[in-house]
């Protein structure tokens, strides 16, 4: 029988030019008199010398012949029904038996999937695009799908086909997505997409939706199964679902996993305890191995728990090629970096955090991506994920590209990615990086280097709509989580709900407070009397957003010095200033974030290439500072007045903010329903003050529950011998007052003792 396939069709297959190889390859019925009596099976096997069609059920074998090309094979089989068949292939002196990928025509993607994706509303598109374990007609393998609408052709290349793009040519579905099921491969298979544009240029790309990647400098994606891990955090997840984080204590320890501690240093650091199960991870250029997610679970989690933080925030752990980017130039948005282990290893880390009562926040980077050849840039031979116009599509200062938020499929990629980390890895929050760079079209651009929006303004309306969408979606699926904006401008309603026109975050970093505080504490205390506004100004706008106070990694790099190095005075004063700053931070309205190394007073700047300076903990001042932070977190979590009303006007009240001559401020923090309150008095100069009178709202004994100048923290131990009785002396417009000793560069926190409250007021004569 003569072949029904034309030489031109064979030419298209051989040269990888056919948009739907299923039209030529695989099994095709031959109808005679209206019924199927024969099947034609065709295959292009570029390395095969001879091919036989194997019918396992019938225990039959049929030789195939070459037609139109020595590596293009065809076989005609006379049968009404064709069961699963296989190829027996001879390649030189070797033989192997495989299933025909073109025998499996059932697509995983439906037209409805593609419709939702096309309008930007397929929230779990990561379950369809990418590489997924599948079983079709009883045969196990991996289903691949990739969005590359402008590509001429797409193939899957990998270690299973010798990285040869001729072997597994994909078909284009609905003019949007390329797909193919490859039988007989599974977890651990390395792969990429070979994408050919209409000019014949070929690009080898990692999978945008890939769940796992090779350790850098290699760039292949790896097939992974994310559904095998057995979680043990059901109690945590259920409690989170019914809680409001805005009325809970949130004290975040910000960590870069690769530079917190290395394996080579772990045994030399006896002050860090914990067991970890090692797994195979990548190496530093210096040969110092990263700790694995398992090892970090054994060391980092106990350390954070000891210090009393409620959350760990991880600098981006999505896959990135360059260590020096700190993770902020992402190429694998759906892949936790293989530097520290496998996806299941990261699940274990999060699971262990939850079992120890610690939430996990992940830095998320939807604002830009790098130009690396294996990444998203120029993905299908066109500007697919980024804008074509460089005035919209490029961050020249950062050398990165900007997502095209106006394209539905790109927006869907990012929205589903945010949801993915909550869904598959049970994270508790995202900290969205560089929001300001997304919201303004002229961000870091000179005149003539940017394009206005449709109304002639500088606001990126498409980016704002994207942020509203992503926040609406993640809170709809996962109530009780955190979505934190690093936004440094006066864009209104960043942390307001989307239904009132806000961007939908529930927290915004207070960058103004951070700059004011670092400027204030960086100056000689004598000059602080002229800058009282630095301390008080944040309260004026505190109720406009839900603020998080953050002293982050950005403040301890690029010549800025670490926190303790920013402080003036001798060594004692530097430590005292640090304690005063952070006590004011933890008593000021707003949730808290601080970067690793601040808690024990590291002197040098953060260096992404090395460990923190753990050796400092052998010295008494650093140990005492670490104890200070543990106690400060304990105070914060213990006192409802310090966290239940961070964002309402009833949660904060000045007692006196006008004593700039002494650089002293005093204020009240009230709990919800006004059931409890604390008095906070800050002295920001090295000059102590005896008999400093502060007005209070109620009578009784005010216990000194925290003193940043305590000797156990390295202070001078000045204070009030445990507390003071109030007096019937109206002061600061209050009916009562207390006479305090204010320690140098110290902050006092006092609380009315309920057992010695009303009816026990001391008289002036008694005092």
Catalytic residue positions, numbered = 433, 486
Q: How far apart are CA 359 and CA 307, in angstroms?
A: 14
Identify the helix (H) or strand (E) that includes residue 90.
strand 86-91
| Phi and psi angles of residue 626, each rounded to the nearest 5 degrees, phi first | -60, -40
Q: Checking DSSP bridges between strand 86-91 and strand 94-99, what pairing results, if any?
A: antiparallel
**Is 316:430 a contact under the CB 8 Å cutoff?**
no
Q: How far apart are CA 87 and CA 381, in angstroms?
A: 34
Identify the helix (H) or strand (E) that includes residue 177.
strand 177-183
How deeply is 24 buried, as exposed, middle or buried, from its count of CB atoms within 10 A (0-12, 13-18, 19+)? buried
Q: Checking DSSP bridges between strand 202-205 and strand 190-196, what pairing results, if any?
A: antiparallel
**Is 254:553 a contact under the CB 8 Å cutoff?**
yes
DSSP code, position 296: H
| Phi and psi angles of residue 269, each rounded to the nearest 5 degrees, phi first | -120, 75
**Is 142:185 a contact under the CB 8 Å cutoff?**
yes
How deeply is 49 buried, as exposed, middle or buried, from its count of CB atoms within 10 A (0-12, 13-18, 19+)? middle
**Is 490:508 a contact under the CB 8 Å cutoff?**
no
Which residues are CB-contacts of 375 (< 8 A; sequence separation ≥ 6)?
205, 206, 321, 331, 369
Give the total residue count for the chain.
767
Which residues are CB-contacts of 657 (< 8 A; sequence separation ≥ 6)?
532, 535, 536, 539, 665, 666, 667
Angstrom CA distances, 198 to 155, 282, 384, 609, stand at 15, 38, 14, 43
Tokens of 44: 């292009």
Q: How far apart are CA 314 and CA 302, in angstroms?
A: 16
Q: How far apart are CA 622 and CA 598, in angstroms?
A: 10
The interaxial angle of helices 532-541 and 511-522, nearest 10 deg, is 170
In which residue are the tokens 């004593």 written? 659
**Is 542:520 a contact under the CB 8 Å cutoff?**
no
Which residues are CB-contacts of 213 (< 8 A; sequence separation ≥ 6)?
206, 219, 220, 221, 222, 319, 331, 332, 335, 337, 338
Of 400, 357, 341, give the one whose Cα is nearest residue 375: 400
Distance of CA 156 to the CA centre of its chain: 29
From start to end of 686-762, where are the E strands?
A: 689-696, 701-707, 723-725, 736-742, 746-752
Neighbours of 735 (CB within 10 A): 15
Identify the helix (H) or strand (E) that includes residue 147.
strand 139-147
Which residues are CB-contacts of 532 (< 8 A; sequence separation ≥ 6)?
657, 658, 660, 663, 665
Of 758, 637, 743, give the one whose Cα is nearest residue 696: 758
**Is 104:181 a contact under the CB 8 Å cutoff?**
yes
In which residue are the tokens 């933890």 written? 586
**Is 442:391 a contact under the CB 8 Å cutoff?**
no
Give one word for 267, left, alpha or beta, with left for phi > 0 and alpha for psi -120 to 50: alpha
**Is 409:147 a contact under the CB 8 Å cutoff?**
yes
In which residue are the tokens 């505080």 written? 517
């Amino acid at each position: 029988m003569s072949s029904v396939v034309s030489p031109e069709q064979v030419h298209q297959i051989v040269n990888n030019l056919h948009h739907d190889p299923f039209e030529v390859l695989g099994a095709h019925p031959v109808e005679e008199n209206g019924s199927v009596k024969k099947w034609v099976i065709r295959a292009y096997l570029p390395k095969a010398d001879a091919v036989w069609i194997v019918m396992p059920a019938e225990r039959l074998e049929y030789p195939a012949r070459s037609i139109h090309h020595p590596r293009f094979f065809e076989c005609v089989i006379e049968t009404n029904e064709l069961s699963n068949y296989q190829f027996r292939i001879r390649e030189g002196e070797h033989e192997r038996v495989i299933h025909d990928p073109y025998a499996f025509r059932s697509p995983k993607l439906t037209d409805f999937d593609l419709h939702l994706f096309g309008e930007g509303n397929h929230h779990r598109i990561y379950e369809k695009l990418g590489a997924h374990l599948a079983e079709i007609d009883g045969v196990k393998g991996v289903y691949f799908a990739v969005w590359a609408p402008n590509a001429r052709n797409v193939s899957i290349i990998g270690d299973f086909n010798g990285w040869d793009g001729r072997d597994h040519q994909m078909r284009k579905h609905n003019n949007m997505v390329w797909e193919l099921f490859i039988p007989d491969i599974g977890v651990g298979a390395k792969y990429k997409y070979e994408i050919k544009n209409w000019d014949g240029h070929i690009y080898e790309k990692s999978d945008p939706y890939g769940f796992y990647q090779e350790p850098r400098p290699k760039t292949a994606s790896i097939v992974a199964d994310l559904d095998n891990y057995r979680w043990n955090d059901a109690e945590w997840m259920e409690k989170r679902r019914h809680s409001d984080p805005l009325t809970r204590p949130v004290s975040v320890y910000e960590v870069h996993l690769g530079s917190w501690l290395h394996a080579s240093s772990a045994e030399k650091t006896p002050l860090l305890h914990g067991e970890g199960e090692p797994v195979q991870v990548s190496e530093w250029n210096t040969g110092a191995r990263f700790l694995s997610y398992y090892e970090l679970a054994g060391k980092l989690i106990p350390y954070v728990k000891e210090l009393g933080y409620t959350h760990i925030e991880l600098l981006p752990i999505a896959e990135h090629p360059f260590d020096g980017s700190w993770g902020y130039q992402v190429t694998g948005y759906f892949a936790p970096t293989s530097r520290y282990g496998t996806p299941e290893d990261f699940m274990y880390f999060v699971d262990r955090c939850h079992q120890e009562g610690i939430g996990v926040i992940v830095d998320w980077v939807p604002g830009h991506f790098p130009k690396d050849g294996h990444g998203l840039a120029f993905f299908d031979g066109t500007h697919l994920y980024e804008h074509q116009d460089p005035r919209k599509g490029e961050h020249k200062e950062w050398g990165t590209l900007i997502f095209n938020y106006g394209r539905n499929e790109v927006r869907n990629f990012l929205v589903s990615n945010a949801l993915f980390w909550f869904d598959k890895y049970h994270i508790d929050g995202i900290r969205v990086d560089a929001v300001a760079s997304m919201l303004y079209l002229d961000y870091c651009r000179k005149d003539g280097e940017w394009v206005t929006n449709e109304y002639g303004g500088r606001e990126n309306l498409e980016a704002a709509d994207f942020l509203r969408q992503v926040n609406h979606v993640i809170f709809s699926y996962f109530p009780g989580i955190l979505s934190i904006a690093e936004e440094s401008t006066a864009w209104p309603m960043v942390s307001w709900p989307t239904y009132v026109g806000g961007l939908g975050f529930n927290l915004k970093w207070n960058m103004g407070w951070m700059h004011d505080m670092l400027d204030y504490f960086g100056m000689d205390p004598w000059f602080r009397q002229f800058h009282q506004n630095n301390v008080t100004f944040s309260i004026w706008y505190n109720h406009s957003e839900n603020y998080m106070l953050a002293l982050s990694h950005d403040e301890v790099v690029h010549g800025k010095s670490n926190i303790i190095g920013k402080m003036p005075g001798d060594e004692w004063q530097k430590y005292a200033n640090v304690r005063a700053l952070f006590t004011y931070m933890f008593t000021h309205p707003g949730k808290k974030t601080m970067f690793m190394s601040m808690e024990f007073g590291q002197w040098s700047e953060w260096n992404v290439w090395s460990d923190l300076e753990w050796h400092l903990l052998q010295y008494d001042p650093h140990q005492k500072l670490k104890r200070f932070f543990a106690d400060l977190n304990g105070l914060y979590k213990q006192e409802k007045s310090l966290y239940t009303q961070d964002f309402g006007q009833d949660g904060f009240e000045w007692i006196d903010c006008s004593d700039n001559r002494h650089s002293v401020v005093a204020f009240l923090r009230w709990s919800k329903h006004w059931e409890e309150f604390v008095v906070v008095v800050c002295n920001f100069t090295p000059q102590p003050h005896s008999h400093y009178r502060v007005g209070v709202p109620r009578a009784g004994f005010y216990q000194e529950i925290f003193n940043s100048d305590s000797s156990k923290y390295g202070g001078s131990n000045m204070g009030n011998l445990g507390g003071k009785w109030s007096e019937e002396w109206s002061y600061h417009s209050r009916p009562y007052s207390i006479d305090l000793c204010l320690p140098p560069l110290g902050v006092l926190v006092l609380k009315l003792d309920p057992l010695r409250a009303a009816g026990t007021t001391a008289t002036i004569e008694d005092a």
